[in-house]
Structure formats: structure tokens, C-alpha cells
């Protein structure tokens, strides 16, 4: 009778554990880039579905449910989707039939995947809408990725953004019998790579203009003041980003003031407001203004419609003559290199010896 073959000859090292050690395939990493979300179409029905999910999140709107949900479902979701759909229509990418946010998030993912090769599976998800975090985590699991890095694409931390990604990821894990190991990339509001990428993209854009701005607004998404009062670090992160950008670009605070956009509702929000600042500058005789939006890593409805369309109109109507919305990092070489830097750093010990890195 022949001796039994050893375990290593009975099984494939690419699909099994040997002597208690993870195999090469098991060690391969998944990377999931997560952005806020977008409707699937620039139509009222799709917008209603998206807003319903987004505005139902207790972290996004922290008002008592007994008050807020009747307002949301009885008023907002019956009146706002049609107007918001028209807004999305004004920036919709007809070539790919998707919003700019979805387009650029997908482009970032594909470009990063090309840089990483076989060392990691790179995917993307939206916190609200599709593709969902749950669907993409499941897809990475089916590829055998048992170690997954989630990268919330929010430079500045807020409970209303980064924390909701974490909440959803761990809610999904609660349903899993065999959970993958997760790491969550930290916010990168003060990261040298992020500031350098913003500096390069901004300088390139300004060099292309036929005029020189008298002011460059650093506009970030607003937040109700009560969130900051309750301990949300978002305002501190925003001011830090603004200070580092001014230092990197050689700007003064007067030349590049920090402002906040996207106010919603009657509550007090962070100030000064971007729209009021644009009007005020024009009223003071400032004729040439550019606006950068370093709170978004991809152009979206807030940067393209709220700033480049509505903000431009507001400034020009108040007496301005030249206006420019500086693009977000999008799929620029600087952004993709920065994403690789994040991936290298946050997967330390997982794929340090991968030859492709």
C-alpha cells in the first residue's frame, strides 16, 4: 500500500490553507474606494430614490425622527426631486450617461487598478445609491479578497460623511458568517500628497487662464453649526486644509478666503457662505475670481452646478467680469499617484513584498 500523499500534493496552494498559513491568493488585498453617491439617472424618480436614502441617514440629518421623516416623505421627496433632476441634467455626461461623480470615481478606480496590477483588486462604491458598499464588498469576497482596505473619498472627516461609510461597512459585516479583515483609510485633509496634488492641479489650471484672479475662494461643503458644537472635527479639518494650501501656493488669507457652500434648511451653518462672498466681492469692485473646491476629489453637482454655473451667474450678475471654477483632482495623474500612496501606506504588512509595488 502506498503512503498517502502529503497535504501539499493533495490540494492547490492557491485555494487552500497550508500548515495554518494563508496562501498567496488569500493574502491578496481588496481596495474599495467609496464616494458619497449619485442618482442613476437625471430623472425625478431616480433622484427621489437617491434623496430618500441619503436624507434618511440619521448622521446626515440628526433631527428627531418623529419630526423629520414626515417632513422628508411628505414634503421634500414630493417637491425637490423634479428641481434637483433638472440640476443634474445640466451637468450630466451624455457620452457615458452618468453623473460626473460616478464617471470620475470609476476612472480613478480603473487608473489605480492599472497601477497596482495583480497585487490588489480595486473596486468602487457609493455610500448612497449604486453600486452599494454591500454589493462591492461581496464582490471582493467572491474574488477571495479576505483583507480589504476601504478608502472613504472625503478629505475632511465628518460624522455626516466618513462616519456613514464606516457605519455601513460594519453593518454589512454584521450579516457575514466569515468576515473579511477591514482597514479604513483615515481622512487626508492634511496629507502632504493631497496638498501637493491640489497645488499642482490648481497651478496648472491658473496658468491656462488668460487673466489673473484677484481672489481665489477655497470653498468647502458646509455643515450645520450644531454638528461642530457637538464635537465634529470637520471645521478644524477645513481650516487646516485651507492653511496648508495657502502655504503651499504662497497665498494670503485675504487673497484666498475659506468659505462654505451648499446650505440647506433654516439652521445656522458654517460661515462665511460662498454665494454671499461672491456677491460681496463683486460689490467691492473685485472683477476676477476663481473658486477651488478641495472638499471634493471628483467634480460633482456641488462643484459643477453650484459653483461653475450658479456661482458664476451670481458673481457676474453682481458686477464681476471673469470667473473660473478650478477642477477637482478627478483622474489627474497627481490624484492617481496619491491614491497609490494611500494604498501603499494603509496596506502595510499586507502586500509589502508584492513585486508590482
Same domain, residue pair 159 and 229? no
Q: Is residue 16 part of a domain?
A: no
201, 320 contact by CB (below 8 A): no
**What's the pLDDT score for residue 131?**
97
Q: Is residue 355 part of a domain?
A: no
Same domain, residue pair 235 and 291? yes
Same domain, residue pair 149 and 202? no
* Residue 14 neighbours by CB under 8 Å, 6+ apart: 23, 24, 25
pLDDT for 171 beyond 60: yes
Average pLDDT over residues 102-117: 96
Same domain, residue pair 241 and 161? no
Same domain, residue pair 182 and 206? no
Note the pLDDT tens digit of each residue in 230-279.
999 999 999 999 999 999 999 999 999 999 999 988 899 999 999 999 99
Q: Is residue 206 part of a domain?
A: yes
Q: Which CATH number belongs to the domain containing residue 314 in this structure?
A: 3.40.50.1400
**What's the pLDDT score for residue 26?**
46
**What's the pLDDT score for residue 266?**
87
**What's the pLDDT score for residue 351?**
75
Q: Is residue 14 part of a domain?
A: no
* Residue 143 neighbours by CB under 8 Å, 6+ apart: 30, 121
Q: Is residue 290 part of a domain?
A: yes
**What's the pLDDT score for residue 118?**
85
The stretches of the chain forming alpha helices (DSSP H) are: 7-10, 24-27, 44-55, 65-71, 77-91, 100-116, 133-142, 162-173, 192-208, 225-229, 234-249, 274-283, 301, 312-317, 333-346
Instruction: Annotate 273-314 with DSSP letters as a single string.
Output: BHHHHHHHHHHTT--EEEEE-TT-SS--HIIIIIIIIIIHHH
Band the pLDDT of 357: cuts 50, 70, 90.
very low
The count of domains in the chain is 2
What is the extent of the structural domain holding 175?
Answer: 25-187+334-346
Same domain, residue pair 171 and 235? no
Note the pLDDT tens digit of each residue in 120-142.
999 999 999 999 999 999 999 99
**What's the pLDDT score for residue 16?**
41
Note the pLDDT tens digit of each residue in 49-61.
999 999 999 999 9
Same domain, residue pair 172 and 131? yes
User: Which triple of cell numbers denotes residue 28?
Assistant: 491578496
Same domain, residue pair 158 and 207? no
Same domain, residue pair 133 and 173? yes
Same domain, residue pair 44 and 173? yes
Sheet order of strands, 322-325 included = 258-261, 215-221, 288-292, 322-325
By C-alpha distance, which of 29, 234, 259 is closest to 151? 29
Same domain, residue pair 236 and 339? no
Average pLDDT, whole number, for the chain? 92
Q: Is residue 315 part of a domain?
A: yes
**To 5 degrees, how large is the angle CA 47–CA 299–CA 238?**
105
Average pLDDT over residues 281-307: 98
pTM of model > 0.85: yes
Band the pLDDT of 27: cuts 50, 70, 90.
low
**What's the pLDDT score for residue 9?**
40
Same domain, residue pair 31 and 135? yes
Q: Is residue 84 part of a domain?
A: yes
User: Which triple of cell numbers denotes residue 36?
Assistant: 458619497
* 221/238 Cα distance (integer angstroms): 9
pLDDT for 350 beyond 50: yes
Share of the chain above pLDDT 70, in %: 91
Average pLDDT over residues 286-303: 98
**What's the pLDDT score for residue 94?**
95
* Residue 15 neighbours by CB under 8 Å, 6+ apart: 23, 25
Average pLDDT over residues 165-186: 96
Q: Is residue 19 part of a domain?
A: no
pLDDT for 24 beyond 60: no
Instruction: Annotate 55-79 with DSSP letters as a single string.
Output: HT-TTT--S-HHHHHHHIIIIIHHH
Amino acid at each position: 500500500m502506498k503512503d498517502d500523499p502529503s497535504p501539499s500534493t493533495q490540494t492547490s496552494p492557491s485555494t487552500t490553507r497550508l500548515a495554518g498559513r494563508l496562501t498567496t491568493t488569500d493574502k491578496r488585498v481588496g481596495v474599495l474606494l467609496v464616494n458619497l453617491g449619485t442618482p442613476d439617472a437625471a430623472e425625478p424618480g431616480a433622484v427621489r430614490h437617491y434623496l430618500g436614502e441619503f436624507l434618511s441617514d440619521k448622521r446626515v440629518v440628526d433631527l428627531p425622527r418623529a419630526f423629520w421623516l414626515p417632513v422628508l416623505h411628505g414634503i421634500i421627496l414630493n417637491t425637490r426631486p423634479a428641481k434637483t433632476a433638472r440640476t443634474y441634467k445640466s451637468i450630466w455626461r451624455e457620452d457615458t450617461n452618468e453623473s460626473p461623480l460616478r464617471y470620475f470615481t470609476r476612472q480613478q478606480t480603473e487608473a489605480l487598478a492599472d497601477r497596482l496590477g495583480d497585487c490588489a483588486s480595486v473596486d468602487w462604491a457609493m455610500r448612497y445609491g449604486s453600486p452599494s458598499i454591500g454589493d462591492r464588498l461581496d464582490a471582493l469576497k467572491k474574488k477571495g479578497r479576505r483583507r480589504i482596505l476601504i478608502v472613504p473619498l472625503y478629505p475632511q472627516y465628518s460624522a455626516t460623511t466618513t462616519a456613514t461609510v464606516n457605519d455601513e461597512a460594519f453593518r454589512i459585516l454584521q450579516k457575514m458568517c466569515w468576515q473579511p479583515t477591514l482597514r479604513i483609510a483615515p481622512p487626508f485633509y492634511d496629507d502632504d500628497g493631497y496638498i501637493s496634488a491640489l497645488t499642482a492641479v490648481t497651478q496648472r489650471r491658473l496658468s491656462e487662464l488668460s487673466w489673473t484672479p484677484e481672489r481665489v475662494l477655497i470653498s468647502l461643503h458646509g455643515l450645520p453649526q450644531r454638528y461642530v458644537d457637538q464635537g465634529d472635527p470637520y471645521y478644524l479639518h477645513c481650516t487646516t486644509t485651507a492653511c496648508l494650501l495657502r502655504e503651499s501656493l504662497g497665498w494670503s488669507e485675504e487673497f484666498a478666503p475659506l468659505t462654505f457652500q451648499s446650505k440647506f434648511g433654516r439652521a445656522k451653518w458654517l460661515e462665511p457662505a460662498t454665494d454671499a462672498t461672491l456677491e460681496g466681492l463683486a460689490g467691492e469692485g473685485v472683477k476676477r475670481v476663481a473658486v477651488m473646491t478641495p472638499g471634493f476629489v471628483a467634480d460633482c453637482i456641488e462643484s459643477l452646478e453650484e459653483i461653475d454655473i450658479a456661482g458664476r451667474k451670481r458673481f457676474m450678475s453682481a458686477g464681476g467680469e471673469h470667473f473660473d471654477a478650478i477642477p477637482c483632482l478627478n483622474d489627474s495623474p497627481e490624484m492617481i499617484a496619491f491614491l497609490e500612496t494611500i494604498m501603499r501606506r494603509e496596506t502595510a504588512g499586507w502586500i509589502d513584498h508584492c513585486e508590482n509595488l
